[in-house]
Amino acid sequence: MNVFVIGATGFVGGALARHLIKSGNAVTGLARTDDAAATLHAQGITPIAGDLDARRPDAVAAALRADAVVYAAQPGPEQETGAVQDLTRALAGTGKALLFLSGSGVLLQRTGGACGAPTSSPSTTPSRPSPWPSTARPPRTRSWPPPVPECAPWSSAPA
């Protein structure tokens, strides 16, 4: 299988890309710089020059050439939203898988940290809407574990 990894120079994406190589897959990885490209090449990963900003079309084109795409990058929320929207639009109807990896940091993006700060009440702190409402996800999208519900109100009462 030919897998394109966006974030192959990072911790999680890099580990996954190396595992895919060891498992006999062909792996390409997005490289923003010549140094990143050299690092990927040394690991047996074919570098694709591009980024999630001005050279995003290069990343989308590479995604279309792959059998599957892994998104393991950690840019800012606005940059990530645009990149993922472009990828899902491009891959729609192709039958190709797009695996979006994320971490616990996303739990604080929705309210700018209000869910993690006991001094704030989610019922009084405005929350930013998620850029990916469930209705906008491609039909084969799966979440695991199930999405975390909105933060419960903080209570000082003993449990």
Q: What is the pLDDT of residues 115-132, one digit of tens each?
A: 444 454 444 445 555 555
| Domain boundaries of the chain, sorted by first residue | 22-63+77-102
Alpha carbons 72 and 5: distance in angstroms, whole number: 7
What is the average per-residue pLDDT within 152-156?
A: 45
Q: Is 32 helix (H, G, I), strand (E, B) or coil?
A: coil
pLDDT at 54 over 90: no
Helices and strands, number each (H, E), in the chain: 5, 5
CA–CA distance from 38 to each of 13, 32, 34, 79, 149 (Å)? 16, 11, 6, 25, 42
Q: pTM (2 decimals)?
A: 0.68
- Do 68 and 96 form a contact (C-beta atoms < 8 A)? yes
Q: In this predicted structure, which of 40-54, 65-79, 129-143 has the lowest mean pLDDT?
A: 129-143
> What percent of the chain is predicted at pLDDT more than 90?
47
pLDDT on residue 136: 47
Mean per-residue pLDDT, 34-58: 92
Q: What is the mean pLDDT of residues 23-33?
A: 96
What's the pLDDT tens digit per position in 72-106? 998 877 788 888 999 999 999 999 999 998 766 55
Contact predicate 69/99, CB 8 Å: yes
pLDDT score recorded for residue 108: 54
Q: Which of 124, 131, 135, 88 is nearest to 110 (CA)?
A: 131
How distant, in Å, are the alpha carbons of 70, 79, 81, 94, 139 from that of 76? Answer: 18, 5, 9, 27, 26
57: pLDDT confidence band, cut at 50, 70 and 90? confident
pLDDT digits (tens, 9 = 90+) for 3-14: 999 999 998 999
Alpha-carbon span 132 to 134, nearest angstrom: 6
